[in-house]
Amino acid sequence: HPIEVAGILASLHMDVQSVCTALLHDVLEDTDTDHAQLTELFGLEIADLVNGVTKLGQLELSNPDATRERKQAENFQKFVLAMSRDIRVLIVKLCDRLHNMRTLDFHPKEESRRRIARETLDIYAPLARRIGVDRIVTELEDLSFKHLQPGVYENITKRLAAWRAGQDVAISQMSVAIRDLMDQHDVHSKVYGREKRAYAIWRKLDRQGITFEDVADIYAFRIIVDDIPTCYRVLGMLHTTFRCVPARFRDFISVPKPNGYQSVHTTILSPDNTRMEIQIRTARMEDVAGRCVAAHWAYNNQS
């Protein structure tokens, strides 16, 4: 488990101290080793980080009878206070929970699995979303959803597979068309697609009261370019070449989300009238979209 957690931290390109903390994060709680010994062996910085992760895991609610919303609010407050000293403590804790969720199938008791999944969905996933670590939040949500509503999860997963099979040709044609458009205008870019996850689809169905067929952004293309002016140039190229859906345009470059996310979103119609969401951003924006606080931390601490 510690090695797997360290691997997740490494995939986020966190620093050596964070990876070491992941390897050692259960030592104070599960062994007789104390803070002084950790400091002697690995230095004060790593010892403090391990201690912070340990304390984070020991946080308890002051009111066990509080509503779910109250529990979530109280935990947010405690986690924010705990992370204020060093954001790396929080990131290690989220990676710890992610690996716990990846192995939750092996937990022997269904009641405990559901409790852990509910805690993850109500506390850890929103916290990961709050600091913008998209790579973690989407997986936490999907894994929690799988355990809390297995029937619904399976249904949406099957419908996604059927949708994918029916849209393969349209997606492939649009991919070629976008790449050809970039080449025609000599725009250096990377183009790839992403499919909406099961929980995100269910949440949209539940909140908006729509059907699966009404979800417009099941599949989206991302166009990664060199700089901000090129983002808007590509937007103009797309709107000139394809019909756009007017109500589906959002500019998060000029007005970033609170967690730092930046991108231009638009939806266009393919030649066969299939709606395709397009996200246009720079390479750094793409990195921040996936790692957010982790990326900002890395950029701000480069020597």
| pLDDT, tens only, 90-121 | 899 999 999 999 999 998 888 889 989 988 88
Active site residue 226: no
Please provide the average confidence, as pLDDT, over all residues in the chain.
Answer: 86
The amino acid occupying position 109 is: K
* The predicted structure's pLDDT at residue 240: 94
Q: How far apart are CA 72 and CA 80, in angstroms?
A: 12
Low-confidence ranges of the chain (pLDDT < 50): 61-65, 299, 302-303
* The predicted structure's pLDDT at residue 188: 96
Alpha helices for the chain (secondary structure H): 2-11, 16-24, 27-30, 35-42, 44-57, 68-83, 87-102, 110-119, 125-131, 134-148, 150-184, 198-208, 228-241, 283-291, 293-300
CB 30, CB 58: distance < 8 Å: no
The residue annotated as part of the active site, out of 15, 26, 30, 105, is 30
* The predicted structure's pLDDT at residue 62: 46
Residue 186 dihedral angles phi and psi, to the nearest 5°: 55, 45
The residue annotated as part of the active site, out of 4, 26, 29, 180, is 29
Active site residue 29: yes
Pairing of strands 243-244, 190-195: unpaired
